[in-house]
Amino acid sequence: MTASLEHERCYRAVASRDARFDGWFFTAVRTTGIYCRPSCPARTPLAVNVSFFATAAGAQAAGYRACRRCRPDAVPGSPEWDARADVVARAMRLIADGEVERSGVPGLAARLGYSERQLHRHLVGELGVGALALARAQRAQTARVLLETTAIPVADVAFAAGFASIRQFNDTIREVFATTPSDLRRRRPGAEAGAPGELTVRLAARPPFDAAEVLLFLGAHAVPGLEEWDGTTFSRVLDLPHGPAVVHLSPAAGSAVTARLRLAQLRDLGAAVARCRRLLDLDADPSAVDDVLGADPALAPLVSAAPGRRVPASPDAAECAVRAVLGQQVSVAGARTLTARLLPLAGTPLPEPVGTLTHAFPRPEALADADLSAVCLTGARRRTVTALAAALAGGDVVLDPGADREEAARSLLAVPGIGPWTAALVGLRGLADPDVWLPGDLALRRSLASLGSSDADAATRWRPWRSYAVLHLWALAVPSLFTRPLPDTLPDLTVRSAS
């Protein structure tokens, strides 16, 4: 059992089949040799026969196989890895993004600023397994998705999921799922069919979850050529490690989102899913957030009106940083226009347009060398974008999923033209930090004034979930971006006086 898990508390969650704990931990039953999600509908095992693990990889390493009934590999991820800022959480975010598949454990350790031995000690000390075992569990889950939702040849699935050989693939599937890849394919659960060349994946969230609201918020900020919103489905181009991809996101039954993906290479599936989950804040624990914010008399009515409200993020924090700079002192509509002008200058074009989607957002190295005169920025703003792109390309500013959030804020503030508001917005929507306050945001000030509160109050009262408080207050100030049909001219929800 993972040392940090309390046996009695975990067992109570299992006995009550509490779905809120799905993804927080996994239940391993010694008498059956399987591991389950806490809400598994099977008969509750005796307390003396169970152990608890913080990750599926830990249960697999201990010799347990995944339950075929509750599919513990399909649960939302643990919200702990987004909330924490230590090296284990940072490593977990990078592993989910596919860093081990791309650069191995040495590359993962280097990104975190640790030696391989130090990183292994941290991971094993808390989770019971190292980075390779964690990545192996993720590869098994990716393989299962491909086997159950596509007609891709089994041998191609193995390499697309990141396995080094067919033998390693077959052995892992047998160990994790107690079956063969061919059997998994024959038991395909009838996933929703997509267009030719598309994969359709169901992305689960902890209830309550209002997918329509999250997609509306993203659609209100959609940049022509990069993103598209038709009133129900939000689509965008993702800049993935092996080429640009297109994802179409729409609400699904049962606190979930349907993602239809068109990938340049199948081996980007894991990274695409991780970035979509971050974009929609699917791994959040709404009960924990609402318990804290709902206990405050000022916020209680807002929380009650919109339980489980999420913080929509960006699939790429570097993109978020550039868009935040472009959005300084202009309206939402103006920021969208300026951002759209960047795409043909430095963005990666799709092989062919998908609807109105044409380009991935420019990578920092391309943006640093681009002539931005056609974007019609002020001289100061143009210099800030160029300086930021150069800092991102040169590694002076690091904004990957494993970034140290405090160090990222300090390095952003060192870029001329970036102030506290912009750095905070990158933390909130780029790095998915759940505890960020936006200093100087006038929309927040208006909402706070109507509630009889102040910035100073908010700085302490709503920790560690201030990011969610920001969304509630934005919704109070600009409800059209959350619950009503979009007006022809969007108001500026992020007007500020500095940076």
Residues forming the active site: 36, 441
The residue with tokens 């979509």 is 276
DSSP state letter for 427 = I
DSSP state letter for 33 = T
Contact 333, 489 (CB under 8 A): yes
Radius of gyration of the chain (CA): 22
Distance between first and last Cα of the chain: 48
Residue 248's φ and ψ, nearest 5 degrees, are: -115, 120
Query: Can you say whether residue 52 is alpha, beta or left, with left for phi > 0 and alpha for psi between -120 and 50 degrees?
Result: beta
Beta strands in 63-178 (DSSP E): 65-66
DSSP-H helix ranges across 397-465: 405-413, 420-425, 442-451, 455-461
DSSP one-letter string for 154-170: HHHHHHHTT-SSHHHHH
DSSP state letter for 22 = B
With the C-alpha atoms ordered 416, 418, 420, 426, is the resulting torsion angle positive or negative?
negative
Please state, in angstroms and rounded to a whole number, the distance separating the CA atoms of residues 444 and 198: 40
Please state, in angstroms and rounded to a whole number, the distance separating the CA atoms of residues 220 and 320: 15
DSSP-H helix ranges across 327-404: 332-346, 364-368, 379-394
